[in-house]
Chain A
Amino acid sequence: AQSVTQLDSQVPVFEEAPVELRCNYSSSVSVYLFWYVQYPNQGLQLLLKYLSGSTLVESINGFEAEFNKSQTSFHLRKPSVHISDTAEYFCAVSSNTNAGKSTFGDGTTLTVKP
């Protein structure tokens, strides 16, 4: 079985501050890891993903996440956030077992204040 724990349900930060959204996973097999973002009144969309290779993955809007196998973590970071980053962020795990289904965390609400 696979599971995901997002350690913070809400993260308030000021604009231009750094942020880290934490995600830990559990799985007995090799995993693929994803971060999705949900802006208000919209569906989820992919932010970035780790499949294999370099453990540091980046998005086009300045977010990055690092796969840490020993700590079973995939934390999301951004060095300087903008108001427009206010959204809910979901970490997800999948594998080639479990019928390839994804398991989602409970979400972290990032609120960027001016």
Chain B
Amino acid sequence: DADVTQTPRNRITKTGKRIMLECSQTKGHDRMYWYRQDPGLGLRLIYYSFDVKDINKGEISDGYSVSRQAQAKFSLSLESAIPNQTALYFCATSDKGGLETQYFGPGTRLLVL
């Protein structure tokens, strides 16, 4: 089984709808991250969490919110989806510290019409 799973893998929604993307990990890591990937822009950090009670905004948090339900679960919500949130979204986990490898989920491809 994969260490980091994301659901759904693909989603089409309409402008104005609320949508939640879910992430679960079995690596036992404290740190979890949400990124979005757009062509030519690499990965941009949306939110990150260093433990269940520690949630922080990344560089592009506007229009998004997160919830850390448990050490293993970190969900991303789009409160009112808009077309420029169409992207590939990745969840990642890591152990403590900047020298630690990040482990990525398979991604969720989101299309907002």
Binds A, one of B14-22, B60-68, B71-79, B103-111: B103-111
Q: At the interface, yes or no: B7 with Cβ under 8 Å from chain A?
A: no
Residues of B within 8 A of A41 (CB): 106
How many contacting A-B pairs (Cβ < 8 A)?
62
Residues B98 and A98 in contact, CB atoms below 8 Å apart: yes
- CA separation between A105 and B102, bound complex, in Å? 15
Chain A: interface size category: 20 to 34
Q: For B98, give its contact among A6, A36, A42, A96 (CB under 8 Å).
A: A96
**B79 CB to closest chain A CB, in angstroms?**
24
Residues A100 and B96 in contact, CB atoms below 8 Å apart: yes
Residues B102 and A102 in contact, CB atoms below 8 Å apart: yes
Residues B104 and A45 in contact, CB atoms below 8 Å apart: yes
Residues of A within 8 A of B105 (CB): 43
Q: At the interface, yes or no: A44 with Cβ under 8 Å from chain B?
A: yes
> If A98-B98, A101-B48 touch, does A90 touch B4 (CB 8 Å cutoff)?
no
Give the contacts of B68-113 with A (CB-CB under 8 A).
90, 92, 96-107
- CA separation between A23 and B96, bound complex, in Å? 25
Q: At the interface, yes or no: A78 with Cβ under 8 Å from chain B?
A: no
0 or 1 for each of A82-110: is its CB under 8 Å from B? (1 = yes): 00000000100011111111101111000
Sample of 6 further A-B pairs with CB below 8 A, known A42-B107, A45-B104 = A44-B43, A46-B101, A96-B98, A99-B48, A104-B35, A106-B41
**3 smallest beta-carbon distances between A and B, as pairs:** A43-B104, A100-B98, A94-B98
Report 11 cross-chain contacts, Cβ distance below 8 Å, ordered by A residue.
A36-B102, A43-B90, A44-B90, A45-B104, A46-B101, A98-B98, A99-B48, A100-B31, A100-B96, A100-B98, A102-B98
